[in-house]
Amino acid sequence: MTTNKWQELQQATDARVDQFLANPMIINKASDLNTYWTIIQRIIMNAAITTVDNHMTSIKYKPPSTNCYNIQLPTSIDATNIMNVRQQIRAFHKVLKIRYDRLIKKQDDKNIKENKCTIIIDRVLQSNNGTSTLITDPNEIKKLTNQHFQQCAGGTQIPKEIPL
C-alpha cells in the first residue's frame, strides 16, 4: 500500500473512531472491553473497505485458538489500577496491530499468487567497451537475459532453458 492509501485509511478510521468516542466508554468488566474491541475492529474493517482497494471482502469466523491474547481486567477500574489496565490495553492494541498487519500481508501474498504476472523482454541494450547495441533477436535476447540472471549475483550457475 502507498503512503497516501495508509493516510486515507488513517483518516477514515480516525473519523469513525471520533464518532464512536462521542459517547464515553464504560468498562466495568472484561465483556465490556471485548464488546468495545469488537466495535473498534468493525470500525477499522469498514474504513478499510471504503479506502483500500485490495481489502478482504468477507470475514470467515474462526473459533479462537489456544494462543489468543487474554486480558484479565479487574471488576472495577479506579485510580489504583488504572495504569495496569492502560498497559494491558496498549499491549492488546499491539497484538491486534500485529495480527492486522499479518492479515494484510497474507492477503497481499494471496493476491500476488493469484494474479501471476508475466514479464516480456522484447529488446535488450547491450554495452561493450563503451558502445551500446540494441538487440531485438529473440534467441539472442534469451541468451543475454539468461546470462545476466546467471551472473548478476556473482558467478555462473547451471544454464537454464528459457521458454518463449
| pLDDT of amino acid 55 | 47
3-state secondary structure of 55: coil
3-state secondary structure of 31: helix
DSSP 129-163: TTEEEEE--HHHHHHHHHHHHHHTTSS-----PPP
The three cell numbers of residue 13 are 478510521
The three cell numbers of residue 53 are 482497494
Query: What is d(CA 9, CA 131) in angstroms, rounded to the nearest whole number?
Result: 49
| pLDDT of amino acid 155 | 65
pLDDT tens by residue, the chain, 164 residues: 677 877 888 888 888 888 877 777 777 877 888 888 888 888 888 888 888 765 445 555 555 554 555 666 666 767 777 777 778 778 878 888 888 888 888 877 777 677 766 778 888 888 888 888 898 898 999 988 888 888 877 666 666 676 66
Percent of residues in the chain assigned helix, strand, coil, to nearest 5? 55, 5, 40
Model pTM score: 0.33
| pLDDT of amino acid 159 | 66
| pLDDT of amino acid 73 | 63
| pLDDT of amino acid 127 | 85
